Amino acid sequence: MTKQVLVIGGTGKIGHCVAQDIKRHTSASVTITGRQPSAKINLPCVPLDLSNQEQVANTITDYDVVVHCAGPFHRRDGTVLNQCIENGINYVDVSDHRSFHFQVADYHEKAQQAGVTAILHAGVFPGISNLMARQGVEGFDRADSIHLYYVVAGTGGAGLTVMRTTFLGLQSPFSAWIKGQWQDVEPYSEREVIEFPHYGKAGVYWFDVAETYTLPQAFDVETVITKFGSLPNLYNDLTWLTAHRMSKSVLNHPITLEWLSKISFAMARVTDLWSGIGIAVAVDVEGEKDGNQQRHRLQFYHDNTAIAAGMGAGSIAQLLLNNDIIQPGVWAVEKAVKTPQFQKMNQQRGLKIETICN
């Protein structure tokens, strides 16, 4: 029988890209959900209110895999995952923040008992970036540090939700694993200039993404650094001012968040015309190999950030549909997906990860 996939939030830009990737690379039947069905998306669509647990339970029951793409995940709880576990349905999401990870990690034993494989943070960053880090770590006898750098042009081809996620990430300090201990870091601080594929040199800043927390749990390294930047550079300057000059009481107000998100999205849609909507990721792993200290850089570029995120989550859904991953429990993506699986999925999608050793 044809397997069934439900993409929650599939009317959004990233959710749509996830759905299209699954359609392209599997024989599964794909249905999407959204607050309002869209005639522009040529897929079966059902309305779904995520705050209605009964509706969530009734909606997901007929599916083999559920992919949760309805962010911002700072505001989501474990309702969808819990209902998937209750109904014996495998689960993937594109969650991007540790607050969500903390909420759903406690479902691990319940998922194991139910035989449900749940894989978190499966987009592009986190997602592809986490698996690049795993591949890099496996190239060493002992890995000491992981530095992840991301730069996104304009809107990235995504929607307003991504802007909301950015400003939510500026609201408070977060803890990062530095030199073997957790240390508080200010968001959008400590600018570095990194050489990226396609874009060349670009500024990046501390940013709290799920892998800031999950990678130190997955690998025995002393430091994990996660820094993000935007193109054109004007957006970095404006974001820095928002993070460091706007009062926290104002920044944390929902009206301010919505206003900043809408203004930024409108601006970015204009600059998309010349900046493009691509993404570049660079992952530096340092450690010991054959008795020598080395650094390996893994990097990639894609001209559409939303499509890259679709590839990340679509790949994981494909592995679950094919029973290539049967690992009951709740896992960050780097704990569930093996490097040969990651490389095979990338090859199918024409996504090239370049490795530079020095």
User: Is 286 within a domain?
Assistant: yes
- Do residues 117 and 132 share a domain? no
- Do residues 60 and 146 share a domain? no
Q: What contacts 316, CB < 8 A, 6 or more positions away?
A: 92, 119, 122, 325, 333, 336, 337
- Do residues 297 and 338 share a domain? no
- Do residues 252 and 292 share a domain? yes
- Do residues 195 and 208 share a domain? yes
Instruction: Look up residue 274 and give its two tokens.
Output: 């010349």
- Do residues 92 and 73 share a domain? yes
State residue 128's pLDDT score.
97
Q: What is the Cα–Cα distance from 126 to 170, expressed in whole angstroms?
A: 17
- Do residues 51 and 190 share a domain? no
Q: Pairing relation of β-strands 117-120 and 181-185?
A: unpaired
User: Is 356 within a domain?
Assistant: no
User: Is 358 within a domain?
Assistant: no
State residue 268's pLDDT score.
93
Distances (CA, A) of 37 to 34, 72, 228: 6, 19, 33
pTM, entire model = 0.95
State residue 40's pLDDT score.
63
State residue 193's pLDDT score.
97
Distances (CA, A) of 248 to 101, 169, 173, 253, 313: 24, 12, 11, 8, 34
Which stretches of the chain drop beneath a pLDDT of 70? 36-40
CATH, residue 151 = 3.30.360.10
Query: Do 288 and 142 meet the contact criterion of CB atoms below 8 Å apart?
Result: yes
Provide the domain count of the chain: 2
- Do residues 8 and 115 share a domain? yes
Containing structural domain, residue 277? 128-302
User: Is 217 within a domain?
Assistant: yes
State residue 347's pLDDT score.
97
